[in-house]
Every structure is written in structure tokens, then in C-alpha cells.
Amino acid sequence: MKQSTHESYETAADLQLALIRIYIGLNFTHHFAEKFGLLGADAYNFVVHYFEGIGYSSSMVIISGICAFSAFVGFTFGLFTRFAAVGTALYLMIALFEGRHYLAGFSWASHVSGIDISGNIQTVYGGWEYPLFWAFICLSFVLTGGRKWSVDQYLRKTNSSVLQFLSR
């Protein structure tokens, strides 16, 4: 039986959303890996040095890594996607402000040197354009959730009212 145009469109739209959602999740792989030391000591030490340079302890690196790992799982697998969307957007906005990206201006390609942050002279790389863009894209998944090709789709079919609520 041939699909109607409407059904075909829904399938294409679901596929498009799944591909974008999965890409977002996979994009966080590097972010959590560097914060957990999975990319080697040099990468980890660079991140720790950066965090300490803006006034945070090295324990915040681990907390940031947990946030990035949660974004990876939530988006890649479509697990509690709406919650992942809100949490990830919040994480990105915190990173934008606490990382002082707004000081570098709009363009992600920009940087500004000689910024005093917590008594340390820093160079801020990347403006606010990119983190705000990704926060907006992530937040848009509050509207759709994981839809097809997500763990959420299967959790909605369970008998657990808690899992059904979390996977809406």
C-alpha cells in the first residue's frame, strides 16, 4: 500500500528531527570526554586550567562533564528528550555567561585578549553566537520530544506512569 503524502511528510520530518537530535548528542562527545580526561592528560589539564582561570575549582570540570554527558545521552538516544532539551539549553547558557563568551562579541570566530577574570588575565575565545544558537536549537526539542527513533517512543508504551511522564 502506498503512503499518502501526509504520511510521507511525517516520516521525513521525523527522520529529519532524529538526525538533528542525534547529531546534537554526538556533538557533546568531545565535551564530556575532555572533562573526564578521556582525551589525555594535556586536554584535561587545559580544561582544568581554564576553569581555574575563570574562578572555578577543578570539581566544576567534573560537574560540567556530567552535564555534557547527560546532553549526549539525552539527545543521542532520545532519552527524556524534553528534559534533556531544557537541561542542555541551561548548561549552554551558563557556559556562555560563566565562560565570558559575551566579552568576545557576537561572532564565534572572535576572541579578545587581556580580560581580567577573577584576578587572572585571560583570552576569551568565541563570542556568544554559537552557544546561543545551540541553546535555541536544543530548546526547540521541548516542542517535539524524541518522537520516532528514540528511547522515549518505547518508554511511552510502558505501564509506568513515571516513565510515561518523563518520556512525553
62-91: per-residue pLDDT in tens?
999 999 999 999 999 999 999 999 999 999
- Report in angstroms the alpha-carbon separations of 142 from 81, 86, 119, 134, 161: 7, 7, 39, 14, 19
pTM: 0.85
- Give domain status of residue 86, yes or no: yes
Check residue 7 and give its pLDDT: 66
Range of the domain at 36: 5-99+141-166
- Give domain status of residue 108, yes or no: no
Q: Which residues are CB-contacts of 136 (< 8 A; sequence separation ≥ 6)?
A: 89
- Give domain status of residue 134, yes or no: no
Confidence tier at 3 by pLDDT (50, 70, 90): low
Average pLDDT, the chain: 88
115 close to 103: Cβ distance less than 8 angstroms: yes
pLDDT digits (tens, 9 = 90+) for 26-50: 999 999 999 999 999 999 999 999 8
- Give domain status of residue 88, yes or no: yes
Check residue 8 and give its pLDDT: 65
Q: Which of 17-31, 45-59, 103-117, 132-146 has the lowest mean pLDDT?
A: 103-117
pLDDT greater at residue 2 or residue 10: 10
Quickly tell me which residue has 511528510 as its cell: 9
Residue 1, pLDDT > 60, answer no
Check residue 6 and give its pLDDT: 61
Question: How many domains does the chain fold into?
Answer: 1
Residue 152, pLDDT > 80, answer yes
- Give domain status of residue 35, yes or no: yes
DSSP 8-state symbol, 127:
-
- Give domain status of residue 83, yes or no: yes
- Give domain status of residue 29, yes or no: yes
Q: Where are the alpha helices (H) located in the chain, listed in sequence order?
A: 5-27, 29-35, 41-53, 59-77, 81-98, 129-144, 151-155, 161-166
- Give domain status of residue 55, yes or no: yes
Distance, in Å, from the CA atom of 88 to the CA atom of 104, rounded to the nearest integer, reads 22
pLDDT greater at residue 1 or residue 110: 110
pLDDT digits (tens, 9 = 90+) for 85-129: 999 999 999 999 988 888 888 887 777 777 777 777 777 777 788
